[in-house]
């Protein structure tokens, strides 16, 4: 708006810093009015919808005349009912989705980052606890959470400790010959194997990448054989590499097919030979809680009790036991399904010599860097075939990916850095979140082995 008096513009800038929610200025009949903007993602219409609420008026001298009362949503509905009952009408000016985006709907400030970190570390945290960390009121925090949920498609889920459940993580690389399978053939092959948690077609040194959970190296080889010899991929000439993953950062969400077809087989049944559960077995109620929270980490425990026909408070007790005593659930966390990323890049750091030079501390610090919205890397791990390291990087800007590859090549000698571009995600999802890296294994190594100063750990439970 070009014709805003200087005093009005200065006053409006100050107001934007004072309010805990986004505001914008409108000129009507020569006067300037301040409105609060609200937006949300309409799943049915598959687009951003928005509404506006009058906040107050700015006079030409910069004075702000606040609306007499800031109604919450419930009060607004009551006021609307009164107006309609008396024959009145209500008209709210609307903005289309493109205008919403033009006005910075994707902006992420420091308060939003704190909220995303709190949700990533404890997706079941009460808004009052998050409000203390963010330095906001509870109502302002609830508004921010709802806005972030709609903006980034936040989904709540359980971060399961697959090692404590008795499974090892593997990565599988495939390089096809001159003829490649179609997308649906590749998707069918990956989706029909429940041990595949994530699969994608890629462009680069390899044509397909899969993340697999298996009991041991022998059963993992059996899984690879099934994929290669008994799936639609069997007709294609290809080379396959399978490697366990160690010292990983981040996690990959588990598919429902894995829970139903693999983990469900671990449910313990009392018998004379097995009077109590074995080390990798689950009780029925433990499986029920894991399955429910894997699908919806914010689901109320009373609902889980009802759905699983459990006595009251059983699922809550079971969850705490799985989390605090058994370590099979690390936490309830989030993933951002609508993260504004250009593409997913898979960085491979292949060792060329046995004396790869570089500072390990530098590499550990690189892994736990933060990106603009989420952690810089969604997942990382050491692999043995090809020997090196694999990193899954959500790329917001091409310059980020180029800079990461250049940094790896410059800082570490004896490695061959390369990147695979994910062209088609076939099965599963990665977890995009803002994990507090003070709790990462990498930070623990930096403090214990390299004597880096200990970061202050926020409490999220």
**Cα torsion for 263, 265, 269, 274, to the nearest 10°?**
-90
Pair of tokens at residue 283 = 């009780």
**Could you give the maximum distance between any two Cα atoms of the chain, in Å?**
86
- Residues 304, 162, 190: CA angle, nearest 5 degrees: 90
Distance of CA 170 to the CA centre of its chain: 21
- Residue 163 confidence (pLDDT): 96
Per-residue model confidence (pLDDT) at position 357: 62
From the CB of residue 195, how many other CB atoms can be counted at a distance below 10 Å? Answer: 24
- Which of 24, 31, 91 is CA-nearest to residue 65? 31
Of 412, 371, 361, 365, the C-alpha closest to 388 is 412
Phi, psi of 400 (to 5 degrees): -60, -50
Residue 339: partners with Cβ closer than 8 Å, 6 or more residues away? 152, 153, 373, 374, 394, 432
Q: In the structure encoding, which two tokens stand for residue 220, read together?
A: 């993992």
* pLDDT attached to residue 2: 63
| Alpha carbons 219 and 314: distance in angstroms, whole number | 34
Which residues is 65 bridged to in the sheet?
A: 57
Q: pLDDT tens string for the chain (461 positions)?
A: 567 888 888 888 888 888 877 888 888 767 788 888 766 666 566 555 666 777 778 888 788 777 644 444 444 444 545 454 445 555 544 444 343 334 345 568 999 999 999 999 999 999 999 999 999 999 999 999 999 999 999 999 999 999 999 999 999 999 999 999 999 999 999 999 999 999 999 999 999 999 999 999 999 999 999 999 999 999 999 999 999 999 899 999 999 999 999 999 999 999 999 999 999 999 999 999 999 999 999 999 999 999 999 999 999 999 999 999 999 999 999 999 999 999 999 999 998 887 666 678 888 999 999 999 999 999 999 999 889 999 999 999 878 888 888 888 888 888 899 999 999 999 999 999 999 999 999 999 999 998 998 888 999 98
Q: How many other C-beta atoms are found inside a 10 Å radius of the C-beta of residue 352?
A: 12
Measure the CA–CA gap between 411 and 429, rounded to whole angstroms: 31
pTM value surpassing 0.85:
no
Q: 417 near 357, Cβ under 8 Å?
A: no
Structure-token match 């008096």, residue found: 5
- Residue count of the chain: 461
- Angle of CA points 206, 210, 214, to nearest 5°: 140
Count CB-CB contacts under 10 A for residue 140.
Answer: 17
Q: How many helices (H) and strands (E) does the chain have?
A: 15, 15
* Model pLDDT, residue 89: 52
CB-based burial, 206-225: b 16+ in 10 Å, e otherwise: bbbbbbbbbeeeeebeebbe
Is residue 433 within 8 Å of residue 334, measured between CB atoms?
yes
Tell me the C-alpha distance between 225 and 240, whole Å.
10
Query: Is residue 188 helix, strand or coil?
Result: helix
Query: What pLDDT is attached to residue 95?
Result: 41
Q: What is the pLDDT of residue 22?
A: 83
Rounded distance between C-alpha atoms, residue 93 and residue 82, angstroms: 20
Name the pairing type of β-strands 154-160 and 387-395: unpaired
User: How many CB atoms sit inside 10 A of residue 279's CB?
Assistant: 6
């Amino acid at each position: 708006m070009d014709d805003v008096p200087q005093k009005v513009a200065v006053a409006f800038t100050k107001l934007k810093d004072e309010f805990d929610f986004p505001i914008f200025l409108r000129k009507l009949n020569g006067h300037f009015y301040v409105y609060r903007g609200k937006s949300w993602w309409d799943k049915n219409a598959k687009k951003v919808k928005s509404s506006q609420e009058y906040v107050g008026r700015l006079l030409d001298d910069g004075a702000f005349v606040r609306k007499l009362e800031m109604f919450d949503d419930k009060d607004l509905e009551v006021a609307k009912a009164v107006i309609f009952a008396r024959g009145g009408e209500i008209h709210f000016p609307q903005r289309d989705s493109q205008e919403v985006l033009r006005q910075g709907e994707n902006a992420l400030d420091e308060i939003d980052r704190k909220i995303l970190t709190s949700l990533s570390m404890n997706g079941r945290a009460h808004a009052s606890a998050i409000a203390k960390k963010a330095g906001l009121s509870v109502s302002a925090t609830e508004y921010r959470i709802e806005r972030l949920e709609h903006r980034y498609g936040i989904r709540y889920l359980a971060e399961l400790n697959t090692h404590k459940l008795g499974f090892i993580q593997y990565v599988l690389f495939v390089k096809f010959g001159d003829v490649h399978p179609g997308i649906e053939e590749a998707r069918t092959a990956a989706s029909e194997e429940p041990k595949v948690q994530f699969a994608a077609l890629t462009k680069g040194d390899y044509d397909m990448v899969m993340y697999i959970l298996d009991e041991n190296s022998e059963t993992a080889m059996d899984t690879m054989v099934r994929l290669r010899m008994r799936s639609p991929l069997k007709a294609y000439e290809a080379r396959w590499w399978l490697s366990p993953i160690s010292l990983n950062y981040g996690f990959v969400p588990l598919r429902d097919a894995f829970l139903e077809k693999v983990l469900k087989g671990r449910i313990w049944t009392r018998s004379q030979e097995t009077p109590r559960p074995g080390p990798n077995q689950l009780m029925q109620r433990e499986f029920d809680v894991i399955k429910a929270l894997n699908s919806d980490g914010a689901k109320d425990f009373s609902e889980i009790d009802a759905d699983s026909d459990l006595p009251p408070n059983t699922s809550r007790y079971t969850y705490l036991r799985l989390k605090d005593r058994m370590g099979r659930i690390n936490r309830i966390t989030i993933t951002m399904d609508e993260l504004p990323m250009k593409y997913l890049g898979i960085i491979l750091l292949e060792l060329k010599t046995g004396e790869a030079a570089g500072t390990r501390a530098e590499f550990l610090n690189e892994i736990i860097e933060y990106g603009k919205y989420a952690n810089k890397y969604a997942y990382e791990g050491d692999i043995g075939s090809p020997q090196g390291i694999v990193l899954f990087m959500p790329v917001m800007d091409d310059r980020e990916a180029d800079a990461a590859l250049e940094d790896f090549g410059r800082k570490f000698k004896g490695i061959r850095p390369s990147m695979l571009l994910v062209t088609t995600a076939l099965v599963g999802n990665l977890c995009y979140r803002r994990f507090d890296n003070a709790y990462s294994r990498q930070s623990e190594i930096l403090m214990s082995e390299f004597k880096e100063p200990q970061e202050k750990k926020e409490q999220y439970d």
